[in-house]
């Protein structure tokens, strides 16, 4: 397949490496002047992967878009709408779009596939690729499982069959709403886990249970299948997000609870804002999400605010465990 991967950060560069490894003709695109692109251009590698010799690296967006059958997008979720305005200037009606990114749009709470549809892409040309796994483990040959979901059953099957390997076992998703919300929300729980690594480690067990239940309620209210919260996109990704030293979101929460700042992208910060908006819109109580939103966006001493929010969660009224 002729595939262009738009975005050459850590996930984008890995995806290009992985798909080339499978025998596809891959173009890796990054904006000229962007540090991620310039490092690959100058050295042929970054801190995660070495550029595969057969991968074509370019900063020419028109070339990347127009020569591809499949366009994989892996950028910061908050930049997707503006990026799609650039992409839609080219003839893309016959292109398949695969979103290998996790997040929700702040201000609207829109899922990323919804942004593509609103940009003019047909729903039956859109798929999402999410699930557990860290690049550092994949490149060492450590396998994991991921999921591809789409409203188009045929497209879903085609992509899973084309992308599966001894390194990644794919599953077919069957709930696009739940897959996208679950994948985005796990990063919010990752920030909470990082805070607990400093404030109270034993509470990470309850976080996993109550976090998944909270997300399940939201998915159901939005018209998805609440069981999706317990699949690979959300609960199945907890080990890599809530415990791994490679998790950006967990590290963000840990450093925040120590009164320090994490310099790299943590998608869970913006997602907490978007999820808070969705909770209000659909009338769903999201106490953990709201606590994460407060610790990320609140004023004053960060470490003190983290401890305060954990305390507030403990003071909430008693709930029935399996029902609320």
Q: Tell me the per-residue pLDDT of 169-207, one tens digit each, with 9 for 90 and over.
A: 999 999 999 999 999 999 999 999 999 999 999 999 999
Evaluate whether 199 touches 257 at the Cβ level (below 8 Å).
yes
Given 95, 125, 156, 186, the catalytic residue: 186
Q: Which of 267, 289, 266, 294 is nearest to 278 (CA)?
A: 289
DSSP 207-266: HHHHHHHHHHHHHHHTTS-GGGGGSTTTGGGHIIIII-TT-HHHHHHHHHHTT----S--
Active site residue 186: yes
What pLDDT score does 316 carry? 86
* Run of H or E residues at 153: helix 153-163
- Token pair for 181: 């919300």
Which DSSP category does 151 fall into? Answer: S
What pLDDT score does 71 carry? 98
What pLDDT score does 320 carry? 72
C-alpha–C-alpha distance, residues 105 and 123, integer Å: 18
Q: Which of 131, 146, 129, 138 is nearest to 71 (CA)?
A: 129
What pLDDT score does 322 carry? 63
What pLDDT score does 296 carry? 96
pLDDT beneath 70: ranges in the chain: 321-324
Three-state SS at 2: strand
What pLDDT score does 323 carry? 58
Which DSSP category does 79 fall into? Answer: G
Q: Which of 270, 261, 278, 295 is nearest to 101 (CA)?
A: 270
What pLDDT score does 264 carry? 87
Task: Show the domains of the chain with their CATH numbers.
Answer: 2-172 (3.40.50.720), 177-314 (1.10.1040.10)
């Amino acid at each position: 397949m002729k595939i262009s991967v738009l975005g050459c950060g850590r996930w984008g560069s890995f995806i290009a490496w992985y798909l080339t490894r499978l025998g596809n003709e891959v173009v890796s695109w990054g904006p000229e002047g962007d540090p991620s692109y310039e490092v690959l251009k100058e050295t042929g590698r970054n801190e995660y992967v070495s550029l595969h010799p057969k991968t074509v690296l370019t900063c020419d967006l028109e070339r990347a878009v127009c020569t591809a059958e499949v366009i994989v997008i892996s950028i910061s979720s908050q930049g997707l709408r503006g990026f799609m305005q650039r992409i839609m200037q080219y003839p893309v009606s016959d292109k398949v779009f695969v979103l290998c990114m996790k997040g929700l749009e702040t201000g609207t709470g829109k899922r990323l596939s919804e942004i593509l549809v609103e940009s003019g892409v047909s729903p039956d040309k859109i798929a999402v690729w999410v699930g557990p796994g860290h690049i550092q483990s994949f490149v060492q040959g450590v396998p994991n499982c991921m999921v591809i979901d789409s409203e188009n059953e045929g497209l879903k099957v085609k992509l899973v069959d084309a992308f599966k390997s001894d390194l990644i076992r794919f599953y077919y998703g069957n709930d696009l709403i739940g897959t996208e919300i679950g994948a985005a929300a796990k990063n919010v729980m990752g920030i909470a886990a990082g805070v607990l690594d400093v404030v109270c480690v034993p509470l990470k067990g309850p976080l996993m249970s109550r976090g998944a239940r909270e997300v399940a309620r939201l998915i159901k209210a939005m018209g998805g299948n609440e069981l999706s919260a317990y699949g690979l996109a959300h609960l199945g990704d907890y080990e890599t997000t809530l415990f791994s030293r490679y998790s950006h979101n967990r590290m963000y929460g840990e450093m925040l609870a120590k009164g320090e700042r994490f310099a790299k992208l943590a998608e869970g910060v913006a997602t907490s804002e978007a999820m808070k908006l969705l909770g209000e819109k659909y009338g769903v109580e999201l106490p953990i999400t709201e606590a994460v939103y407060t610790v990320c966006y609140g004023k004053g001493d960060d470490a003190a605010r983290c401890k305060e929010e954990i305390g507030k969660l403990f003071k909430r009224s008693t709930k029935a465990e399996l029902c609320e």
